[in-house]
Structure 1
Amino acid sequence: MEILRVFNNNVVLARGDGGDEVILTGRGLGFQARPGQPVDTAKVVRVFRPDDGRDPDHLGELLAGIAPEYVQLVVAALTDAGLEGRAAQSPTLVIALADHVSFAVRRQRLGLAIDYPLVGEVTHLYAQEYREASALLAAVNARLVEPLPDGEAVALTLHLVNAGFTTGDLSHTYTMTGVIQQMVAVIEQTYGFTLNPGSVGLGRFITHVRYLFVRIHQHQQLDEGHSTIGQAIRDVHPEALRCAERLAAVMELRLGAALTDDEISYLTLHVARVASEQRVP
């Protein structure tokens, strides 16, 4: 491997054996090193491969500003919480979590408290990630002299959710949270009932919309051109179709992307399932 850029004594950008750019960490790895020199592999502790086209220079600079002990703490906490698979799938998640934890610790030492206003939405829309984040926070706190407050689980949840996107910008997750909440409100207004946050149908609807968000962001919406199954869904569920068209209008307004006919058809199916489940006595 060849050094491409030295961020500090412990973090460098290098060209991997496969020709890809990787971020390497290790004590003294960048000390007196120069671009073009071979990497001292004996000093390499961790390798970060930027995923989904994320800028390696930006991630390297971010990682260079984080004390190495926080990266180690997060990696260990993810393992203790049973989330080591997430770290393997998205190495940049480790960087984002380490950055957040280090800043949270700094805030706490300065006596600066933060109230996360999205706690209701997060526990409702991302129940699985919230449970994972709570376990992760407990594992982090087990390694800190001054444990972080329970509210930090909300922020950690958003980072876990954000790992499913093609950008490291957390604003996408905030936007998605607001849009899903608005879509749930539209369904409730259309049918005149309040949805049960723990219902299976609503959980499936939210999961579908989250993947739809990813498809929109990647410009890969389902589009088979008036498919037979899509038309059948529309014919069987006219009321759900009208609701789905309202949901599509919300997404177009908020995201600037019109939904394809197929995406609207599958939204119709999920809306129909939610409504049918709600009506069961």
Structure 2
Amino acid sequence: MKIVKTFNNNAVATVSKDKEDLILTGSGIGFQKKIGDEVDPGKIEKKYYYQGGENNAMFQFFMRTPIEYFKVSQEIMDIAARRLKVELKPQIIITLTDHIGFAIERLENNIELPNLVLPEIKTLYKEEYKIGLIGLGIVRREIGVNLPEDEAGYIALHILNGIKSYDDQSVLETLQMINGCIELIQDTLHTHFDQDSMDYTRLTTHFKFLAQRVFKKESQDDIDDDLDIYYLMIKKYPEIFNCVIRIKDYILQEFQYELSDKELWYLMIHIHKITN
């Protein structure tokens, strides 16, 4: 394969034997190379396919992005794959590198982007969040930039979305649903949760499993013999019942799923436990 463009010492563009546009990365792959030189196969670490030549968005992305950002992303990906024992989609390096570059740019311009689902990420995806924190350390070591803790959550999200066995949409929607439900509970019952408590962990975990049913449209069987207990709870805790009805309306409107009486009952039990 012959080089058609050298981005830097560690990234070049070429054309495969099958006439497909390729970007190759690897330590020293572009060092002292010029257009027309042969690519050293032994230095190829990663391959990225693109179409449309220099007008392609990926081509332009490599043109403007420092190679150090790619190295940081690759190290984070390697750690995630090893610690989580998962296979990651190849395109995550593009989205993660782009995010890191944008995060650094925002920091330099004093622009904050709060991670509104950070508490839920820390509670529900502990290992991914820990890898996000490791990622901040890698950015600090390799680029000399101290990114805020919110970015550890964003890195965790990129990892989650990059896991081949996961549904990209469901991860983000799960966090959005949980965050919306928690806000409804706090607003309706005029309370605020200790996000480090076991009760909060149990509640968010319950919402996580509920979200999985919501997105798969798998309704739980309704109440049978426990109707009396359910109605007793409604009578004894009208504020909590009003709260779960608001949650029911929210999930129906936003996610087109109607909670059964059994799901409402379980929610009442969890909410009662965390608020008493």
TM-score range relative to shorter protein: 0.5 to 0.7
Length-normalised TM-score, structure 2: 0.61
Q: Measure the CA separation in 2 of the matches of 1:71 and 1:193.
A: 44
Length-normalised TM-score, structure 1: 0.60
Q: How does 1:47-196 map to 2 (within 5 A)?
A: 64=62, 66-77=65-76, 79=78, 85=84, 88-107=87-106, 111-118=108-115, 121-127=116-122, 128=126, 129-144=128-143, 146-149=144-147, 151=148, 153-161=149-157, 163-164=160-161, 166-167=167-168, 173=172, 179-191=177-189, 193-196=191-194
Aligned residue pairs, count: 237
| CA RMSD, Structure 1 to Structure 2 (Å) | 4.7
Secondary structure (helix, strand or coil) at the match of 1:180 reads: helix
* Deviation of 1:78 (Å): 5.0
Contact kept, 8 Å, 1:10 with 1:64, in 2: the verdict is no
Q: How does 1:7-18 map to 2 (within 5 A)?
A: 10=12
* Deviation of 1:205 (Å): 3.0
- Seq. identity, %: 15
Q: Which amino acid counterpart does residue 10 of structure 1 have in structure 2?
A: V
Q: Measure the CA separation in 2 of the matches of 1:180 and 1:73.
A: 31
Contact kept, 8 Å, 2:252 with 2:258, in 1: the verdict is no
Secondary structure (helix, strand or coil) at the match of 1:194 reads: coil
Per-residue Cα deviation, 1:179-207 (whole angstroms, up to 9, x for no partner): 53332232235555433222223223324
Mark the structure with the bigger radius of gyration. 2
Per-residue Cα deviation, 1:135-174 (whole angstroms, up to 9, x for no partner): 3202221112x3233x2x31341342353464489xx84x
Q: Which amino acid counterpart does residue 124 of structure 1 have in structure 2?
A: P
- The residue aligned with 2:237 is none
- The residue aligned with 1:45 is 45
Q: Quickly say closer, same or farther: Cα 1:237–1:193, change in 2 above 3 A.
A: farther
- Structure 2 gap segments, 5+ residues each: 50-55, 235-239
Contact kept, 8 Å, 1:195 with 1:202, in 2: the verdict is yes
Q: 1:205 aligns with which of 200, 203, 206?
A: 203
Contact kept, 8 Å, 2:177 with 2:251, in 1: the verdict is yes
The yes-or-no answer on 1:269 pairing with 2:261 is no
Secondary structure (helix, strand or coil) at the match of 1:25 reads: strand
- The residue aligned with 2:52 is none
Q: Which amino acid counterpart does residue 154 of structure 2 have in structure 1?
A: L
Q: Measure the CA separation in 2 of the matches of 1:232 and 1:12.
A: 66
